[in-house]
Structure 1
Amino acid sequence: MPRDNSMMGHNQKFEIPKEMGAWVLNDPNNITIKKKPVPEPKEGEVLLKIDAVAICATDLEIMSHGLPAMINGELPFNKNFTFGHEAMGTVVKLGEGVHEFKPGDRVCVEIHAGCSRCEMCRKGWYTSCLNYSFTDRGHKANGFTTDGAFAEYMTNRTQTLVKVPDGMSDEEATLCVTAGTSMYTLDVMGGLYAGQTIVITGPGPIGLCAVGVASALGAEVILTGTRDNRLEIGKKLGAAHVINVKKEDAVKKVKELTGGIGAHYVLECSGAENAINDASSMIRRGGKIGLAAFPSKPVTVDIANLVRNNAYIFATRGEGKSACHRAMALMAQKRFDAKLIHTHTFPMKDLETGLKYTKERIEDAIKVVVRNDQKLA
């Protein structure tokens, strides 16, 4: 729901309980609500009251296979761990030294806060922190290496916070990280120039956000996928052309749409087995391929075709280099309608239902959001 902070006032005082309800991992695919202490914000951190969290496919992977970071090399399941990472909330308490935010500010949160001292973090590549998962060295990733957002409260460092504009709904704000992830891949590929052509493969949440971001930046977007209704959403988000790969040869159609030369870029968001090989046949010589999806198993890639075409491949993790701030700017300016990607909302108490809708794509769920409107425990 939209909220207007101008009517609420900032720097409010909030009553903060000592305990909160939080969803925690137990055994594979088994989660329960437990009571936990409300965390205390450290220096440079704020305490957030979680308002809404979008469910990510990675949450399903964490439930079934454990934490992808394998915290400090430990067992894949960390009992009592709270997951969830695509969150927004309200600042309710400031840690020492925080001056950028005030109680009452609405913010969405980036997942990753690097250690800030390794070579990668110093370059701004904090999603590739060389101290990833070592919390004693300063690394933090919500819902991956430190407790996440499927809870009533969470602490965050100020560098991970993006202010939510007045009037933007909580649900739309949760999509900032998804849009930021696609923005980051475009950045790593070198950025887009208006008028260039990009093929986006896979109309899932990241792929559809990528359509919105790329079209807002002036690119001619070609979206490929298998579901006509999602391709139609892609059109509403700015795709100039859509291709149902079950009905047309996508490579042939892209070549046709680009005068036989191929696209400048392909942003791969499907994770399909042959996606990289298709991408290498869709780009023009010297073109660039960005990988933002995780194939479910190792794939065979035609390296010779990449070499012949002087192609470049860029793989990215997460939402680095403050891409979320620029994605939020596009959303705030209504350069694309991220609300089209949000399909279902449930109370956070019904998280298991939301996860089921996401996993089984019930009612063609794309982005499912859980709201924290009542106490969990």
Structure 2
Amino acid sequence: MKAMMLWEPGRMELVDLPLRALGPGEVLLKVEACSICGSDLEGYHGQHPKMTLPRVMGHEVASTVVQVGPEVECLSVGDRVAGMGSLACGQCPPCQAGKRDRCASPLSPGFTAHGAYAEYVVGRAQGCTPIPDDVSFTEAAVAQPAGIANHAVSTRAAVCPGEVLLIQGCGPIGLSAMMLAKLRGATVISTDIVDYRCDLARGMGADLVLNAHRDNVREAALDLTSGRGVDKAIECVGGDQDETIPEAVACVRGGGLVVVVGSFAADRATLPVIDFKFSEKTVTGSQSMPEGYGPIFDLIRSGKLDLAQLVSHRLPLEEVDHGLKMMDTKAENVIKVVIEP
């Protein structure tokens, strides 16, 4: 099969790889669409803490089941699925005892096992979610970042009707969070430092959009709330959060909540701890999408959530490298790149 191999940071090549035999609980998936994730950029630059090289990246995948391995009963050939789950390592004591579902060191496709920037990928049947017939492969491929946003909005922030939110970042997760918060009846301030992303947020329904490099976000938040501050903030930027997290804390009211979704560039960030004590503000994290794909698929099917508008580019497999570079430099008004092998 054809696959895009990352040999070393910044160097990818189209290669031929053999298809391996399937183990218990595994399925062979024909990749129909795979969207580029921000964590892929970390891997591309050699900055992902878990990625090993050489590696076929890609994990935001929608595919068709073409073969099922032993002990697979939940999926059949021809099923349309999103995600692929982790894989058993085959080496730890549980795996050696035949209990691969209890693997102590699971392999993560795209990071510690080969992923979906390829014609085919091996996945774990239990980690695959059936795609409804009226949801496209492209929508399913970008449903994962929307699922991450959904966990932050619906569970970690528990957004309620009438609340005022600050959502930092107008990338795929930030825009998804904005749309989901609006569906829950919130007023949303969206911020970014890239003008075309601000324009997109404005067109997608944000109540107030600010360029965080030009506008005074705190003053605008106070003006909108008659000096009180926003109820909650969701940080979807990541990277150097010494700027975004303190800004979020400054914008929320006393007793307010900041939910951090963006991935840290470092293991430390400067926080205004006096606000935690005297204003009883809270900073918490949000990780992954434990609610799964179901809530997102339901919203897509109902017509309430349009994820297709996040997809700015569709590229063939051999142009993964170009897609990564576009996302890295935010060239060509890129938002979300979907690879279609």
TM (normalized to structure 1)? 0.79
- Offset from partner CA, 1:81-135 (integer Å, 9 cap, x none): 21111111111122233333322222221665799xxxxxxxxxxxxxxxxxxx9
Change (3 A) 1:114 1:304: farther
Change (3 A) 1:163 1:370: same
Q: Which residue matches 1:261? A: 228
Change (3 A) 1:236 1:106: farther
Is 2:166 the partner of 1:185?
Answer: no
Is 2:243 the partner of 1:243?
Answer: no
Change (3 A) 1:244 1:365: same
Q: Which residue matches 2:49? A: 68
Q: 1:85·1:149 contact (CA, 8 Å) conserved in 2?
A: yes
Quote the Cα distance in structure 2 between the aligned partners of 1:212 and 1:162. 23
Quote the Cα distance in structure 2 between the aligned partners of 1:45 and 1:216. 37
* SS of residue matched to 2:158: coil
Question: Aligned runs of 1:59-98 on 2, under 5 Å?
Answer: 59-65=40-46, 67-69=48-50, 77-79=52-54, 81-98=55-72
Is 2:10 the partner of 1:29?
Answer: yes
Give the residue type in structure 2 aligned to 1:25.
L
RMSD: 2.4
Quote the Cα distance in structure 2 between the aligned partners of 1:346 and 1:197. 38
Q: 1:109·1:161 contact (CA, 8 Å) conserved in 2?
A: yes
- Offset from partner CA, 1:283-313 (integer Å, 9 cap, x none): 1222111111134344322111232221221
Give the residue type in structure 2 aligned to 1:302.
P
Greater displacement, 233-242 / 82-91? 233-242
Quote the Cα distance in structure 1 between the aligned partners of 2:182 and 2:303. 12
Quote the Cα distance in structure 2 between the aligned partners of 1:296 and 1:190. 23
Q: Which residue matches 2:98? A: none
Is 2:248 the partner of 1:273?
Answer: no
* SS of residue matched to 1:323: coil
Q: Which residue matches 2:316? A: 347
Give the residue type in structure 1 aligned to 2:251.
M
Q: 1:39·1:153 contact (CA, 8 Å) conserved in 2?
A: no
Unaligned runs of 5+ in 1: 1-19, 71-76, 116-134, 373-377
Change (3 A) 1:63 1:111: farther
Quote the Cα distance in structure 2 between the aligned partners of 1:24 and 1:331. 33
- Quote how far apart the aligned CAs of 1:42 are: 2.9
Question: Aligned runs of 1:201-350 on 2, under 5 Å?
Answer: 201-271=168-238, 272-297=241-266, 298-317=268-287, 319-350=288-319
Matching residue within 11, 32, 49 for 1:51: 32
Question: Aligned runs of 1:117-132 on 2, under 5 Å?
Answer: none
Q: 2:85·2:125 contact (CA, 8 Å) conserved in 1?
A: no
- Offset from partner CA, 1:313-339 (integer Å, 9 cap, x none): 12233x231333222322232212111
Unaligned runs of 5+ in 2: 90-101
Q: Which residue matches 1:103? A: 77
Quote the Cα distance in structure 2 between the aligned partners of 1:112 and 1:292. 22
TM (normalized to structure 2)? 0.87
Quote the Cα distance in structure 2 between the aligned partners of 1:66 and 1:281. 30
Change (3 A) 1:136 1:159: closer
Indicate the percent of aligned positions where both proteins have the same amino acid. 29
Quote the Cα distance in structure 1 between the aligned partners of 2:328 and 2:200. 20
- Quote how far apart the aligned CAs of 1:260 are: 1.9
Q: 2:86·2:123 contact (CA, 8 Å) conserved in 1?
A: no
Quote the Cα distance in structure 1 between the aligned partners of 2:86 and 2:153. 18
Q: 1:189·1:288 contact (CA, 8 Å) conserved in 2?
A: no
* SS of residue matched to 2:293: helix
